[in-house]
Amino acid sequence: MSDPLMPPVMQMPARQGLVARVQAILLKPAETWDLVAVEPDSIPSIFTGYVVPLAAIGPVCGVVVALLFGHFNLLWGVIAGIVGYVLSLGMTYVMAFVVDILAPSFDGRRDLLSAFKLVAYTGTASYVADICWLLPILGGLLALAAFIYSIYLFYLGLPKLMKNPAEKSIVYIAVVAICGLFMVGLIWMVVGGITAVGVGAAMLGGHPVSVNSITVHDKTGSVTINAAQAVAAANQIAAQASQAHPAGAPATPLKIADAQAMLAMMPPIFDGATRADTTVSSGGVAGMAAATAEATYSVGGGTVHLKIADMGSMAGVGAMANALNVNSTTSSAGGYETIKTDGNRITTERYDTAGKSGEYDLVLNGRVAVSADGSHVDMATLKSLVDEIDIGKVDALTH
């Protein structure tokens, strides 16, 4: 005989079916998160039984829309859909990993299964809303509404699954969101540039076959996703978050470059212009630390803004960008943009010829960066100013 005092959550099945779970998490999120928190489950079962089928909605609808409106030929559209699908599935694991390793920084409990539950079920609204892309006029608005509702779902589920104090959820979500936006950007960058792709892996019998890299080419250049570098970058993000506040241990501050020392590396005078409007900043929140030094120079009739930065705790994100090995060039009558990856260096060059404004950035080891942006100056001036900084010495400040 059942105990009438037993909480209703304990009387429910071990895990709801796909349709029932979708309905429950969307219509009764608070009660469903209570169920999710205690139900016996595993990452593989959630992945194959929930994430895999729902994540397919977006790529399938995207291919259909692209074909209907003539954006792709059949082969191209299918390849783009497959790559987007695979990257989306991978993102679920990466984001669960990020949620898990950040938990101690917000007085939460590290539990990878709970983190995976949180990420997988939070995505429900966006997965279902992907059907709306078949509606050209309303699709974008409905997708935005689904995104906002997904944030609400995450907010409700976070303290229930990761056991962090509710008052720390907002900052926790903000840090996770930064990583999430970065990963979404990578997915769109890769999928959006596809004209051909070498597929070196497949899911055979439910077991993944690993590959070293995938290269995507188009008329602007190429992106080579290095699997080993990507894994190393993910591990770096984990290590830095754990170092910021490891579970069961006092906080261990990450060594951040001295902002004043970075400022001292900027030339007092450049091309006859005196360094002005200098600012420095360092520190962080919730264990996420960084440092910057900035200054401006009035060169001729233009202005140049110089910045040196140590990305600190977010260096793993920079390393993930390095793992993409992007090399591309786009140009038009109005200007151009070039991205070049050379080993552990990434340079980005953007210039608007009409407005005589542009930006030149140099990133080393995914962590330290020197950038110059200006108006009414030429690109040679921006490059020359960045070259005044020994980025190797900037990097040495972080060791």
Residue scoring higher pLDDT (316 or 351) = 351
Q: Report residue 100's pLDDT band, with 50, 70 and 90 as the boundaries.
A: confident
Question: Which residue type does 250 have?
Answer: P
Distant-in-sequence, close-in-space partners of 66: CB < 8 Å, separation ≥ 6: 72, 77, 80
pLDDT of residue 289: 64
pLDDT of residue 207: 38
Q: What is the pLDDT of residues 377-399, one digit of tens each?
A: 999 999 999 999 999 999 999 88
Residue 171 exposure: Cα atoms within 13 Å on the Cβ side: 16
Residue scoring higher pLDDT (263 or 17) = 263
Residue scoring higher pLDDT (158 or 236) = 158
Residue 247 has pLDDT above 50, yes or no: no
Q: Report residue 291's pLDDT band, with 50, 70 and 90 as the boundaries.
A: confident
pLDDT of residue 3: 44
Q: What is the pLDDT of residues 145-157, one digit of tens each?
A: 888 888 899 999 9
Residue scoring higher pLDDT (46 or 339) = 46
pLDDT of residue 106: 87
Residue 213 has pLDDT above 60, yes or no: no
Residue 98 has pLDDT above 50, yes or no: yes
The three-state (H, E, C) secondary structure of the chain, written as one string = CCCCCCCHHHHCCCCCCHHHHHHHHHHCHHHHHHHHHHCCCCHHHHHHHHHHHHHCHHHHHHHHHHHHCCCCCHHHHHHHHHHHHHHHHHHHHHHHHHHHHHHHHHCCCCCHHHHHHHHHHHCHHHHHHHHHHHCCCCHHHHHHHHHHHHHHHHHHHHHHHHCCCHHHHHHHHHHHHHHHHHHHHHHHHHHHCCCEECCCCCEECCEECCCCEEEEEECCEEEEEEHHHHHHHHHHHHHHHHHHCCCCCCCCCCCCCCHHHHHHCCCCEECCEECEEEEEEEEEECCEEEEEEEEEEEECCEEEEEEEEECHHHHHHHHHHHHHCEEEEEEECCEEEEEEEECCEEEEEEEECCCCEEEEEEEECCCEEEEEEEECCCHHHHHHHHHCCCHHHHHHCCC
Cα pseudo-dihedral 63, 67, 72, 78, rounded to 10: 40
pLDDT of residue 313: 58
Residue 261 has pLDDT above 90, yes or no: yes
Residue 105 has pLDDT above 80, yes or no: yes
Average pLDDT, integer, range 344-355: 87
pLDDT of residue 144: 78
As a whole number of angstroms, the distance between CA 37 and CA 157 comes to: 9
Instruction: Please say whether the dihedral angle defined by the alpha carbons of residues 52, 57, 60 and 62, taken in this order, is positive or negative.
Output: negative
As a whole number of angstroms, the distance between CA 378 and CA 358 comes to: 8
As a whole number of angstroms, the distance between CA 187 and CA 82 comes to: 12
Q: What is the pLDDT of residues 162-185, one digit of tens each?
A: 999 988 888 888 888 776 666 555
Average pLDDT, integer, range 337-343: 83
Average pLDDT, integer, range 201-215: 40
Q: Report residue 12's pLDDT band, with 50, 70 and 90 as the boundaries.
A: very low
As a whole number of angstroms, the distance between CA 62 and CA 130 comes to: 8
Q: What is the pLDDT of residues 31-43, one digit of tens each?
A: 999 999 998 888 8
As a whole number of angstroms, the distance between CA 324 and CA 224 comes to: 5
Average pLDDT, integer, range 345-367: 88
How many CB atoms lie under 10 A from the CB of residue 331? Answer: 12
pLDDT of residue 392: 92
pLDDT of residue 399: 85
Q: Which of the given ranges, 105-114, 196-205, 237-246, 336-345, has the highest pLDDT on average?
A: 105-114
pLDDT of residue 190: 47
As a whole number of angstroms, the distance between CA 256 and CA 356 comes to: 35
Residue 128 has pLDDT above 80, yes or no: yes
